[in-house]
Structure 1
Amino acid sequence: MIAKYYGLYFKSLSEAKINLAADTIKVMLCTSAYTPDQDTHQFKSSVTNEVSGTGYTAGGATITGVSVSYNASTNVLSFDGGDVSWSPATLIGANAPRYAVIYDSTPATDATRPLIGYINFETDDYAPNGGTLTIQWNAGGIGSVTVN
């Protein structure tokens, strides 16, 4: 898997459009028909081709227990949260997920809901057929930035 930040996530942070500690952070699933653009996608309204199917709710799942920490010995700022699952999930064929998109769902409209990052499941779409689809975050957190 490949995980990346949207470049404009940092612009949204600097403009106080995201409060990781207080806002509702979600992860939604999109098909291979969505093409992430790290340089121009800033809000959820730019995201297309969300999956649909049994066990999946439009807008995705809430990431619970989101926290932000800073490790002074490594100069790493990271944020983390609970793993997310959809069960039972039937997302096959044209509705198989290729991307997981993380965003702030607190603002009122998709045009103002800032994007954070995304995971590319790479060349093979993950197609659960009645099983559990789980995104288990890295032990180091959902995302991190090294301060130099």
Structure 2
Amino acid sequence: MATPYRQFLKKVLNKEIDLDSDTLRATLHTSSYTPDLTAHDYVDDLTNELATGGGYTAGGVALTGVAVTVTAANSWATVAAVSTSYTVGKVVRPSVGNGFVYRAVTAGTSGASAPTWPTVVGQTVTDGTVTWECFGAAVLAIDWDDPTWPAPFTAGPFRYLVVHDHTPATDATRPLVSLTDFGSNQTGGSGPFSSALDSQGAFLIGLP
């Protein structure tokens, strides 16, 4: 799951980003870029983007299918299951809705029976080896189609994928949206390269 830059919501509220109409682009960056999710807010804070070559074009690719949805907790599609593996960031609702959703903050396997779910946002509960945090009474999901570079793609190595709003005129005014850390250097293998998003969305924001 992508991680939003921390000033992203500020840029939306300041009307610097319009997710319904602006063009978002994804760029690839080497491990020499040091992300600062709090301080970095515009494209001119980025460094070490891949150069044009090997199927990559500097400036990245435009994203398609950008969508923003708000879902009430009891209507959230993913229901918590027992004895199931969960990764960090996965959001679930109890099998019997209680008006809240829960985000995994520690990965693991859920227990053989459901925990007693807390109903105060920010409180946590242990469920087997998973730790759940009460995430909110609704979920705002921001999503887009998987960024894809067509074959033959041999560019690299790169470690980060950054999404930004490309509609403003200059890099100093193009807000950063999110960061994906692949965890290690990646290099294209001559086929297409696609960064697969989590099925729940590019990133999720809990709403009280």
Counterpart for residue 143 of structure 1:
203
- Tell whether 2:26 aligns with 1:27: yes
The CA deviation at 1:44 is 0.5
The CA deviation at 1:129 is 3.3
The percentage of aligned residue pairs carrying the same residue is 38
Q: Letter of the aligned partner of 2:70 in structure 1?
A: Y
Q: Letter of the aligned partner of 1:44 in structure 2?
A: V
Alignment of 1:1-148 (within 5 A): 3-52=2-51, 53-73=53-73, 74=101, 75-87=138-150, 88-92=152-156, 96-122=157-183, 124-148=184-208
The CA deviation at 1:144 is 1.1
- SS of aligned partner of 1:118: strand
Between 1:81-90 and 1:61-70, the stretch displaced more is: 81-90
Distance 1:84 1:7 in 2: 21
Instruction: Could you tell me which runs of 5 or more consecutive residues in structure 2 were left unpaired when the two chains were aligned.
Output: 74-100, 102-137
**Residues 30-61 of structure 1: CA deviation (Å, up to 9, x unaligned):** 00010110111000010010012221111111
The CA deviation at 1:3 is 3.2
- SS of aligned partner of 1:10: helix
| TM-score, length of structure 2 as denominator length | 0.66
| TM-score, length of structure 1 as denominator length | 0.91
Comparing both structures, which one devotes a greater share of its residues to helix? 1
Where relative contact order (Cα < 8 A, 6+ residues apart) is larger, the structure is 1
Q: Which entry has the higher C-alpha Rg, 1 or 2?
A: 2
Q: Show structure 1 runs of 4+ deviating over 3 A.
A: none
What's the RMSD between the two structures over aligned residues? 1.3
Instruction: Could you tell me which runs of 5 or more consecutive residues in structure 1 were left unpaired when the two chains were aligned.
Output: none
